[in-house]
Amino acid sequence: MAGACVIGVDVGGTKLLSGAVDSGLAVHHRAQRSSQGLATPELLDTLAAIVREAAEAAPGPVIGAGFGIPGVIDRRAGVVGACPHLPLEGVPFQALMEERLGIQVAVDNDANCAMLAEWRHGAGVGLEDVVMLTVGTGIGGGIVCGGQLVRGSTGGAAELGHMVVQLDGPPCQGQCPGRGHLEWYASGNAIGRAGQAMIAGHPDSALAREAAAGRDVTGALVTELAHDGDAASRAAIEQVGKALGAGMVTLVNVFNPARILVGGGGIAAGDLLLDPARREVAECAMPSLRDNVEILPARFGADAGLLGAATLAFEEFAR
């Protein structure tokens, strides 16, 4: 349909973001709400509200909505499986949102959506083998292998943030029973934890002063101060980047990708995060495989989830 739009929705563990998106992936309106502390009915109602807000501002007819959710998605049934960061486990999400909105709805894992956007339109265009890590509240993953987006037997493939990097490490978040997962050590939340741990040893740092003034030590604050040159904040991000690189070593050795793309809000740290990861891969991955891989920021950055959800909707409904 000429001039048609979709609504892309990035359903995050911290925030909900929607946008009216045209076929050229231009975003014409954005609506954002917090997702923290919402029970399931409130969460569904809030999602419906931001879809309607974006749809009202769309420059053309809206043919459907795509949702990227941070959990395991049974796409055949439209049901959310494990979802550590939001109260959506077991929810027949697709049917409930179609009922609320009165339009077609497509649902997939948020990192699969981000991978789809990068593969079709961004930093993964033309590649047959590419892996993506989305660094945010947790870590999501997307895999294109042999020119196919890998979803697994029940839609749960590429939960790369749940890769075990320390057998006796801290318990995972939410309902996940595992321990020592990559997202504990290398997510946006991990940057905040690493920053907090740095304060005692760096009492004269900008990070320590901000904490003493009452600011929450979050990944965003640590990243901001690191870009301003604060040594403690830079050390925290380097520590997390090295952990991210350790996860990448496994991905390089298992999938032999041409590129690993890094997206999500955590990519705001840029090369402060990626350079330690690159060094870890260069030192520890198998030589015949590490020499073939590039580690790059995703083209769409923090918008990859929204644009990926929109890409999913276009691929399913614009036929």
**pLDDT one-digit tens code per residue, 251-298:** 999 999 999 999 888 889 999 999 999 999 999 999 999 999 999 999
Per-residue confidence (pLDDT) for residue 70, from 0 to 100: 86
pTM assigned to the model: 0.86
Closest-CA residue to 163 (of 244, 83, 247): 247
Per-residue pLDDT at 303? 84
pLDDT at 173: 76
Task: Please tell me the predicted confidence (pLDDT) of residue 265.
Answer: 84
DSSP 77: T
Helix, strand or coil, per DSSP, at residue 187:
coil
Helices (H) and strands (E) in the chain, counts: 11, 12
Q: What is the pLDDT of residue 174?
A: 67
Q: 5-115+303-317 domain in CATH 1.10.1740.10?
A: no
Virtual torsion, Cα 148, 260, 164, 108, nearest 10 deg: -40
CATH 3.30.420.40 is held by the domain 125-298: yes
Res 2: pLDDT: 55
Q: Which residue has the tokens 């997202």?
A: 183
Among the listed residues 23, 20, 18, 24, the one whose alpha carbon sits nearest the alpha carbon of residue 56: 20
Element (H, E) at 94: helix 93-101
How is the chain split into domains, by residue range? 5-115+303-317, 125-298
The per-residue pLDDT for 235 is 98
Low-confidence ranges of the chain (pLDDT < 70): 1-2, 174
The pLDDT assigned to 1 comes to 55
Length of the chain: 319
Estimate the crossing angle of helix 188-199 against helix 219-227, to 10 degrees. Answer: 70
Tokens of 46: 């809030």
Burial of 288 (0-12, 13-18, 19+ CB in 10 A): exposed
In the block, tokens 């109260």 appear at 87
So what's the pLDDT on residue 136? 85
Residue with tokens 């060094």: 279
Nearest CA to 182 out of 231, 251, 118, 261 is that of: 251
Do domains 5-115+303-317 and 125-298 share one topology? The answer is yes
Residues 6+ apart with CB under 8 A from 201: 232
pLDDT for the residue numbered 120: 94
Angle at alpha carbon of residue 21, lines to 50 and 130, rounded to 5°: 110
Whether 202 contacts 153, CB under 8 Å: no
Nearest of 20, 119, 2, 15 to residue 66 by alpha carbon = 20
Rg (CA), the chain: 19
What the block records as the tokens of 15 is 């925030």
Distances from the Cα of 193 to the Cαs of 89, 188, 222, 276, in angstroms?
Answer: 27, 9, 10, 18
User: CA angle 306-175-157, nearest 5°?
Assistant: 50
What integer pLDDT is reported at residue 20 of this predicted model? Answer: 97
Q: What is the pLDDT of residue 42?
A: 96
